[in-house]
Structure 1
Amino acid sequence: MKPLYLEFLLHWGAVSASETFDYVIAGAGTCGLVLANRLSENPNVRVAVVEVGNDERHNPNVTDITRFTYALSTPLAWQYPSVPQPWAGNKSVVFFGGKAIGGTSTINGMTYIRGDKAEFDAWEALGNEGWNWNSLYPYFKKVERFTHPTAAQVASGASYDAKAHGDSGPLRTGFPFQLINGTLYETIRTSWRNLGLPINPDVNSGDVRGFSVWPQTVDRDAGVRADAARAFLHPVEDRPNLSIIQGAVKKITWSDSVSTCGNSIADGVEYLTTKGETATYGLETKIELPGVGENLQDQPLLSLLYPGKLNASGLTPYATFTNVHDLFGRDSVSIAASTKVSLSQWARTVSDANNGAISPQILERLFAIQHDLIFTRNITIAETLTVASGAQLVSVFWLLLPFSRGSVHIKPSRAIEEPDIDPKFFLIDFDLDLELRTGRLAQQFWDTEPVKALVAPGEPALANNASEAEWAAYIRKTCLST
């Protein structure tokens, strides 16, 4: 294997030094640190990770389990505004990313939910032989070190299936000690059950539907977030063959020779070391791949707020996952038929909106599999969080599988921290209908006993009898990025 050379660039572009590594990884996020951990297990292999963020292991906005969202307004978070969204009131939404060793795992909501079995099986249906739930399941458990809940946590709603979890992996998961106690859990669980949503004893078993208290990426006994750095880097950071280098990757350099298969060979990486400098990119195309940066899916997030008759203190990781039958009821069959005949038109719409970067034929194939997942395999397609904080009651909800597709690109002559992000929210109007149905269900929840008794008098953002036009306007005006 030919080693890669790292060239250290100062802001004026002069090469000041170079080092040789067998592998160079751009970014110390979750994927980058897992790779670095595994590759550096071989002491004869030199591995470098280039990351612009700092070591934040002692920053309370990272470590404190109760401070989720605090970091979003600090230098810990990249804040990327999208381009204006014409189908969402022409507004821009902000995308957040973690600017730290550990990447976005240092600022996210710590949710640990794998997904529905059928979604992983769809990877194989798309041509990825061997990539399915059964083949990945042992690795899900291998990476995990699950902490069984205490009796007090079980009384607060924590539940699990021991067979679905690993107990010796590097990533600690479990339930935080700060789970809210008292009767709130039972009140919320009963109200969802009264709407036909059962309790799910373990959302990581491959069946996500129902109401649950979800596990999180936390080291419960230490009382801290289990981000990617804590899981995959800190235990091995003393390896002499592993280096973390602060900088922003500028480009990959390419050899003049090609492999025996005719492929290009990378022989180096250039990166910037000067803090605070921005890099503009006049990019030269090496290989024409118009699909790069395309097929972006994002899930528009909405909230409904209500005044409460309580003073809640503690964490409420309460999630309810719903499928198409929960949202559309008896109309599901007719909607399945009407949307199926629309797939071809949707594919053309998305392809045209993205300048033909992905062909309508490819998109239609993707949409057909997605349609089958939703209407035949009954996977969950929407998530609703039920939150109580102080005297505030909140539903936060979003659709999980939008048909709308957007893009993310680096623009020539623009700084690397100014990408063009365009999720194209609600380009396909069925996404808006799904969001609306999910919102109506959340609204119905707060009007269902026994939780209804906790809602104080007041004027909600939307009346229970709000029209579809009023709902659509509210969604377009208030939606955010997940």
Structure 2
Amino acid sequence: MVLECTGGGTSGLTLATRLSEDPSVSVIVIEAGPANLDDPEILNPALIDNRFGRPEYDWGFQTVPQKFCKDRSVPFNRGKGLGGSSALNFLQYHRPARSDIDALGELGNQGWNWELLEPYYAKSERFILPVEKNNTLTYDVAHHGLDGPLAVGFPTPLSTFEHPFQMAMKNLGIDLIKDPIKGAWYTPVTIDPTERVRSYAANKYYQPNASRENLTVVVCAQVTKIVTELDHNALATAVEVVFHNEEALYTVKVGKEVILSAGTIMSPQILELSGIGDRTILQEFDIEPRVHLPGVGENVQEHFFSGVVSEVRPEVVSELYQTSGTGIFGIPPTCISFVPLATISADHETLQKSLATLINEAISSKRISPSLQKQYEITLKHQQDREPSCEFILWPLWRPIPNTPAPGKQYLIVSTLLNHPISRGSIHIASSDPLVPPKINPRYFEYEYDLLQLVEQIKFARKILDQEPVKNLLAGNELSPGRDVQTDEQIADFVKSALSTTWHTVGSCSMLPLEDGGVVDSRLKVHSTTNIRVIDMSIIPLHICAHTQATAYALGELGADIIKGKALISGD
């Protein structure tokens, strides 16, 4: 049995490593980027932001100009190379709320719920208990795996900003919690605290098993197309591959299955180049339609953020970073809160009513599909049930914002993320040339509701920085938005100027019934195909209120067991 895994990223390497545990199965991983193994720029957590935009690490995607966001084209960084975005990300590792996972089943994926996926979160994780005595750390070992490949823990030492952030949130009425997420707590990160290095798919899944004779990894090789034969369904017979710096096109014959783990951006691109997608889009680029699947590249959802930036008092800035690489300016952020909209906004009932009105108007005018109606109704119910949807993170300012930082100053930002957007985007091919990047259109703020909610979150972020004991750490100078930005209209204008992606894109190959615009079924097989699966974050049909890294690993783990026949989905 030979399995081709297209993409050596977070889910892909997890999947390949688990599948190759069976010596009777041969697994070939084809990765577009370089190996980048044992690269200190990846392994050193203090170099967290130095690889963005560099082609040996980053695909460097850009969105199309965003109509409702001042026609800005927003950078859409993605990890390129073994490990994918687990080699490029900000290392945060946590599970979403149970309600987010149960929603997968509510959308028509029979058998998908928290009970199915929770063991696979645990299977990937090796949670390392903190060695230093710190009474402010909040965690529950029962919500962590202890025997998985991926080292997960807390940075040591924690910075002087962590505890004040927690206390400020408590003073604002936010519960301090352990696990699971709904309140303020310290998120674990994918760092091995004993070695102080990044723990990611390449060094924890692949490298310890690289000597397996039945596991082959090919790098700097981009899959351009899945070749199919048509009978009752499309049967994959080969994949076409182009090696970088070569003009020749190679064909790799398919054994048992082709598994797409190219990520939310590239998985739909490969499907469309293979003739699997909306026939109207395919015919525009003279691609022969093999399977008409209009859902390919649709239903795209993205967490996006803005934030409030304030100057840190000079005497508070730790010298630890210069001497030992520790302190908040040398570690990934761990101060984090996931809270319901009702907790942070006095106008939450008005916003909920506006969301209900939006849904009803969209239904009556037939502007949305029945599937999207279900998604919106679940989102509204989660808000009414006070499930978390708003996120706040304290971290050092690290990338340009509308107002220019003063030389020699240090700044903190409370970033605020919108985790359950109403706007839906798309990712489609821009050319029949497989090396041309896809057209990425998140459609930020297509529905004004998203903007109004983010305005409320910015107002609460200001309260955090104005609340003791955080306030005592700051110089009192708000760099951004700036104290002259006060009205909701002014804040909304600022948000449009300062919005950024959080690299948590999902939905472009949604796991939904075929009649609901789905791309894959509950066993992750592409509809109307015999032997093509998609296993990565693109299958998530309704976004989760969490960073996506832990779920990407869990999907790889679960996907492997589905293929092995060890995970039985209801209806099997």
TM-score normalised to structure 2 length: 0.73
Q: Structure 2 residue aligned with 1:385, among 393, 412, 415?
A: 393
1:71 shift after superposition: 1.1
Partner of 1:337: 353
Partner of 1:40: 20
| Between 459-468 and 136-145, the greater mean CA deviation after superposition | 459-468
1:278 shift after superposition: 11
Which amino acid is 1:344 matched to? N
Query: Secondary structure at 2:288's aligned position in 1?
Result: coil
Query: Secondary structure at 1:212's aligned position in 2?
Result: strand
Q: Where in structure 2 are there 5+ consecutive unaligned residues?
A: 250-268, 274-284, 322-326, 398-408, 503-572
Partner of 1:211: 184
Cα distance in 1, alignment partners of residues 27 and 162 from structure 2: 47
The Cα offsets for residues 117-166 of structure 1, whole Å up to 9 and x where unpaired, read as 111111111122221112222222122111001134x25x4321111111
Structure 2 residue 229 is the aligned partner of structure 1 residue 255: yes
Q: Structure 2 residue aligned with 1:71, among 51, 54, 66?
A: 51
1:458 shift after superposition: 2.8
Q: Structure 2 residue aligned with 1:160, among 131, 139, 160?
A: 139
Contact 2:224/2:434, CA 8 A, preserved across alignment: no
Partner of 1:8: none
Cα distance in 1, alignment partners of residues 107 and 15 from structure 2: 25
Structure 2 residue 291 is the aligned partner of structure 1 residue 287: yes
Partner of 1:367: 376
Cα distance in 1, alignment partners of residues 362 and 208 from structure 2: 48
Structure 2 residue 68 is the aligned partner of structure 1 residue 87: yes
Cα distance in 2, alignment partners of residues 278 and 106 from structure 1: 29
TM-score normalised to structure 1 length: 0.86
Cα distance in 2, alignment partners of residues 97 and 448 from structure 1: 35
Contact 2:354/2:449, CA 8 A, preserved across alignment: no
Q: Structure 1 residue aligned with 2:488, among 468, 473, 476?
A: 468
Query: Secondary structure at 1:115's aligned position in 2?
Result: coil
Structure 2 residue 24 is the aligned partner of structure 1 residue 24: no
The structure, 1 or 2, with the larger RCO (C-alpha pairs under 8 Å, 6+ apart) is 2
Query: Secondary structure at 2:475's aligned position in 1?
Result: coil
Q: Structure 1 residue aligned with 2:245, among 275, 283, 292?
A: 275
1:414 shift after superposition: 4.5
The Cα offsets for residues 415-445 of structure 1, whole Å up to 9 and x where unpaired, read as 5342100000000111001111111000111
Q: Given the superposition, is the C-alpha separation of residues 473 and 335 from structure 1 closer, same or farther in structure 2, using an over 3 Å criterion?
A: closer
Contact 1:149/1:159, CA 8 A, preserved across alignment: no
Contact 2:308/2:478, CA 8 A, preserved across alignment: no
1:457 shift after superposition: 3.7
Cα distance in 2, alignment partners of residues 471 and 276 from structure 1: 50
Cα distance in 1, alignment partners of residues 410 and 142 from structure 2: 38
Cα distance in 2, alignment partners of residues 334 and 52 from structure 1: 47
1:36 shift after superposition: 0.8
Partner of 1:198: 175
Contact 1:50/1:245, CA 8 A, preserved across alignment: yes
Q: Structure 1 residue aligned with 2:234, among 264, 276, 287?
A: 264
Q: Given the superposition, is the C-alpha separation of residues 442 and 411 from structure 1 closer, same or farther in structure 2, using an over 3 Å criterion?
A: same
1:274 shift after superposition: 3.5
> Between Structure 1 and Structure 2, whose CA radius of gyration is higher?
1
Which amino acid is 2:197 matched to? V
Cα distance in 1, alignment partners of residues 484 and 336 from structure 2: 22
The Cα offsets for residues 23-82 of structure 1, whole Å up to 9 and x where unpaired, read as 111110111112211221111221101112112122222101121111113221111111
Q: Structure 2 residue aligned with 1:187, among 150, 158, 164?
A: 164
Partner of 1:236: 209
Contact 2:162/2:334, CA 8 A, preserved across alignment: no
Contact 1:348/1:360, CA 8 A, preserved across alignment: no
Cα distance in 2, alignment partners of residues 457 and 110 from structure 1: 30
Normalized per residue, which structure has more strand? 1
Q: Given the superposition, is the C-alpha separation of residues 445 and 402 from structure 1 closer, same or farther in structure 2, using an over 3 Å criterion?
A: same
Structure 2 residue 326 is the aligned partner of structure 1 residue 318: no
Cα distance in 2, alignment partners of residues 113 and 327 from structure 1: 22
Cα distance in 1, alignment partners of residues 454 and 419 from structure 2: 10
Partner of 2:86: 105
Structure 2 residue 306 is the aligned partner of structure 1 residue 327: no
The Cα offsets for residues 253-273 of structure 1, whole Å up to 9 and x where unpaired, read as 1235x3xxx222111111012
Q: Given the superposition, is the C-alpha separation of residues 464 and 385 from structure 1 closer, same or farther in structure 2, using an over 3 Å criterion?
A: farther
Give the RMSD, CA atoms, in angstroms. Answer: 2.2
Query: Secondary structure at 1:190's aligned position in 2?
Result: helix
How many aligned positions are there?
441
1:293 shift after superposition: 0.2
Cα distance in 1, alignment partners of residues 288 and 58 from structure 2: 29
Q: Given the superposition, is the C-alpha separation of residues 28 and 459 from structure 1 closer, same or farther in structure 2, using an over 3 Å criterion?
A: closer
Cα distance in 1, alignment partners of residues 463 and 20 from structure 2: 52
Cα distance in 1, alignment partners of residues 362 and 451 from structure 2: 14
Q: Given the superposition, is the C-alpha separation of residues 450 and 345 from structure 1 closer, same or farther in structure 2, using an over 3 Å criterion?
A: same
Q: Given the superposition, is the C-alpha separation of residues 79 and 291 from structure 1 closer, same or farther in structure 2, using an over 3 Å criterion?
A: same
Q: Given the superposition, is the C-alpha separation of residues 171 and 54 from structure 1 closer, same or farther in structure 2, using an over 3 Å criterion?
A: same
1:348 shift after superposition: 8.1
Cα distance in 2, alignment partners of residues 405 and 277 from structure 1: 37
Cα distance in 2, alignment partners of residues 278 and 401 from structure 1: 44
Cα distance in 2, alignment partners of residues 117 and 274 from structure 1: 42
1:464 shift after superposition: 7.4
Query: Secondary structure at 2:430's aligned position in 1?
Result: coil
Cα distance in 1, alignment partners of residues 434 and 294 from structure 2: 21
Which amino acid is 2:294 matched to? P
Q: Given the superposition, is the C-alpha separation of residues 417 and 107 from structure 1 closer, same or farther in structure 2, using an over 3 Å criterion?
A: farther
Cα distance in 2, alignment partners of residues 422 and 334 from structure 1: 29
